[in-house]
Chains A and B, each alone.
Chain A
């Protein structure tokens, strides 16, 4: 292992240990774990009942000698929808908090001048903290996935197959990219702010816009969402009528899609939902088709994570040692 790699790994280990000791992070993690566990438990309980009904139907059909039995409409991975939504909302706050803590800790405890007095470049510092954060997120996401799989198997009475494990793993990698982008955002905002707490508030403001407001605007602008029960239904239009009318709204739909495209959360959501069978239209297709269909979302996730990491590296490289410590 080269000297540089060794230094990066030391910073990463320091980042991991410090994060595990943070009470703020533990509180948020507890909220995420409880909310996710509850969401999967509810879904799995309902699923078990539906699965039992389907099994009873299949057994009755086979007993009657029927050869054509309708396939199960159930999709076990879709029960993880709540878990992904919580990662999207609460996970992003955890990532921002981690970014905030990793910078403010060094500023307030005045260890940044000490760190900078060592032969440690800004790039190594950024890479080390980023790797440490990735290790924390990996632990968090893996724990969530294992709890989800076990809950689906034991409560929902349906264990996922290797192909589904692969798709779930890819969704977890997407979650890792998503959280790492928000980690960088939290660290950059804190490092740039004169007072660390203000940096945290600014990062949370951006989170609010990207995760909650932009997707909400995109959803609200959907023509069919203009009336309770659906505008097209209120106008007595069937699906063909709806498509015929929407051909006159291509510009409008482009604007709406563009607003959604600006949201990193929406890209993560689309990819994770495609991988976990949440959207019914994706269920008949195999992994290569799904990856091709969501290639833009994959690209945006990588692009956001890469650009924000470069921003973090630039910010930490330019960060001057603070002789008196931060004062928020």
Chain B
């Protein structure tokens, strides 16, 4: 039964223009990340050439080759920013759409006259939404591979493994936001309130919590090369202990480790940074399953 509900929801998501636009947007930003990576590569080559000429004219030795400082997968460093920004918003909308249509169109009343439990129903919806995101990320992965081959000319099995790991991590991160979208739709009766509450949660996770734990200003969250968290203030020396709760920071740290774009750290440390995201996802799933048992499907939700 879970499979049937998931298949039906997948069909609805394919027909939803908003979800489709979100999918195309994700593929487009992956391509943009590739173009930016190519531009970065090209700029470094040109700046290096100019620097060599300048140093030679001044009678100084040539500067070190900057590509020795630039990891192979650094081309994708912008994806580490786009996934928590654009991907998470897409995940919210997908989770929201998965739940609200049945509520506002009164389908819930009809559906539960059939042999289907609420747990099966919720799991089917979660499965469909996360499967949609998985397919989206597979598409993004293909675009990333094309971009890497176009710029670096080669892609080692190790890099392919890292790339796969990055997208698996991203999928688990986005699953959290799918569940946020579903949960807010179950908690409120008005569509707009549900969507805006979910966006409120996203704003807090993405911008407010990192400022609390690491002193990162909102616009600093947009740059793939953020400065290390300042711990000069006594306040941040205390709040940095809460950094494991900041799942966006944990995601960025884990993504940097997996892609090899941040200083090497032990595997156990990388695994530990993924744990908060998994705990958040599991906790939200439990909340969704608990909430759906109490949801009153006899009342239609407001379309507003």
Residue ranges of A at the interface with B (Cβ–Cβ < 8 Å)? 23-24, 27-28, 31, 34-35, 38-39, 42, 45-46, 81-82, 85-86, 88-90, 93, 97, 100-101, 104-105, 108-109, 196-198, 200-201, 204-205, 208, 212-213, 215-217, 219-221, 223, 225-228, 231-232, 234-237, 241, 244-245, 248-249, 252, 269, 326-328
**Residues from chain A with Cβ under 8 Å of B192 in the complex:** 24, 97, 100-101, 104, 196-197, 200
Which residue of chain A is the closest to B100 with respect to CB atoms? A197
Which residue of chain A is the closest to B224 with respect to CB atoms? A220
The answer to whether B47 touches A223 (Cβ under 8 A) is yes
- Chain B interface main SS type: helix
The answer to whether B18 touches A235 (Cβ under 8 A) is no
Instruction: Count chain B CB atoms within 10 A of each CB in A219, A235, A244, A248 and give the residue with the most.
Output: A235
List residues 11-47 of chain B with CB under 8 A from any CB of chain A.
17-18, 21, 25, 29, 32, 36, 39-40, 43-44, 46-47
CA distance A81 to B69 in the complex (A): 33
List residues 168-192 of chain B with CB under 8 A from any CB of chain A.
190-192
The answer to whether B212 touches A38 (Cβ under 8 A) is yes
**Residues from chain B with Cβ under 8 Å of A221 in the complex:** 36, 39-40, 43
**Residues from chain B with Cβ under 8 Å of A200 in the complex:** 192, 195
**Residues from chain A with Cβ under 8 Å of B25 in the complex:** 205
The answer to whether B70 touches A45 (Cβ under 8 A) is no
- Size bin of chain B's contact surface: 35 or more
- Min CB distance B20 to A, Å, is 12
Interface assignment of B111: CB less than 8 Å from any CB of chain A: no
Interface assignment of B297: CB less than 8 Å from any CB of chain A: no
The answer to whether B78 touches A220 (Cβ under 8 A) is yes
List residues 115-137 of chain B with CB under 8 A from any CB of chain A.
none
- Min CB distance A268 to B, Å, is 12
Which residue of chain B is the closest to A195 with respect to CB atoms? B303
- Min CB distance A276 to B, Å, is 14
CA distance A234 to B17 in the complex (A): 47
The answer to whether B50 touches A248 (Cβ under 8 A) is yes
CA distance A49 to B203 in the complex (A): 30
- Known contacts A24-B196, A86-B207, then 6 further A-B pairs from the complex at CB < 8 Å, ordered by chain A residue: A28-B196, A39-B217, A46-B233, A108-B302, A204-B199, A326-B303
CA distance A88 to B217 in the complex (A): 12
CA distance A46 to B230 in the complex (A): 12
- Min CB distance B95 to A, Å, is 13
Closest 6 CB pairs of A and B: A235-B63, A216-B222, A24-B196, A108-B304, A85-B218, A235-B51
**Residues from chain B with Cβ under 8 Å of A204 in the complex:** 89, 199
- Min CB distance B13 to A, Å, is 14
CA distance A245 to B303 in the complex (A): 58
Which residue of chain A is the closest to B29 with respect to CB atoms? A213
Could you pull out 10 A-B pairs where Cβ atoms are within 8 angstroms?
Answer: A24-B197, A42-B215, A93-B199, A197-B191, A227-B44, A234-B64, A235-B48, A245-B47, A245-B54, A249-B46
- Min CB distance A324 to B, Å, is 12
Which residue of chain A is the closest to B41 with respect to CB atoms? A226
Which residue of chain A is the closest to B17 with respect to CB atoms? A198
**Residues from chain A with Cβ under 8 Å of B40 in the complex:** 220-221, 226
Interface assignment of B151: CB less than 8 Å from any CB of chain A: no
Interface assignment of B235: CB less than 8 Å from any CB of chain A: yes
Contact of A227 among B29, B55, B69, B195 (CB under 8 A): B69
A245 touching B51 in the complex, CB below 8 Å, given contacts A205-B25, A234-B66, A234-B69? yes
Instruction: Count chain A CB atoms within 10 A of each CB in B93, B196, B211 and give the residue with the most.
Output: B196
- Min CB distance A25 to B, Å, is 8
The answer to whether B104 touches A328 (Cβ under 8 A) is yes
**Residues from chain A with Cβ under 8 Å of B2 in the complex:** none
Instruction: Count chain B CB atoms within 10 A of each CB in A39, A220, A221 and give the residue with the most.
Output: A220
**Residues from chain A with Cβ under 8 Å of B207 in the complex:** 35, 86, 89-90
CA distance A239 to B168 in the complex (A): 42
Contact of A97 among B18, B43, B196, B225 (CB under 8 A): B196
A208 touching B85 in the complex, CB below 8 Å, given contacts A216-B223, A220-B223? yes
The answer to whether A85 touches B51 (Cβ under 8 A) is no
CA distance A42 to B239 in the complex (A): 12
The answer to whether A208 touches B224 (Cβ under 8 A) is no
Interface assignment of B193: CB less than 8 Å from any CB of chain A: yes
- Min CB distance A263 to B, Å, is 11
- Min CB distance A27 to B, Å, is 5
The answer to whether B219 touches A85 (Cβ under 8 A) is yes
Interface assignment of B204: CB less than 8 Å from any CB of chain A: yes
Interface assignment of B81: CB less than 8 Å from any CB of chain A: yes
- Min CB distance B192 to A, Å, is 6
- Min CB distance B63 to A, Å, is 4
The answer to whether B217 touches A198 (Cβ under 8 A) is no
Contact of B235 among A23, A42, A231, A245 (CB under 8 A): A42
The answer to whether B191 touches A231 (Cβ under 8 A) is no
**Residues from chain A with Cβ under 8 Å of B63 in the complex:** 234-237
Interface assignment of B86: CB less than 8 Å from any CB of chain A: yes
**Residues from chain B with Cβ under 8 Å of A252 in the complex:** 43
CA distance A35 to B204 in the complex (A): 8
A81 touching B217 in the complex, CB below 8 Å, given contacts A208-B85, A212-B222? yes
Interface assignment of B283: CB less than 8 Å from any CB of chain A: no
**Residues from chain A with Cβ under 8 Å of B215 in the complex:** 42
**Residues from chain B with Cβ under 8 Å of A88 in the complex:** 218-219
**Residues from chain A with Cβ under 8 Å of B195 in the complex:** 197, 200-201
A328 touching B66 in the complex, CB below 8 Å, given contacts A31-B208, A89-B218, A245-B47? no
CA distance A201 to B48 in the complex (A): 43
Interface assignment of B200: CB less than 8 Å from any CB of chain A: yes
Which residue of chain B is the closest to A224 with respect to CB atoms? B47
The answer to whether A31 touches B18 (Cβ under 8 A) is no
CA distance A244 to B50 in the complex (A): 9
Q: Mark B63-93, 1 if CB is under 8 A from A, else 0.
A: 1101001100000001001100110010001
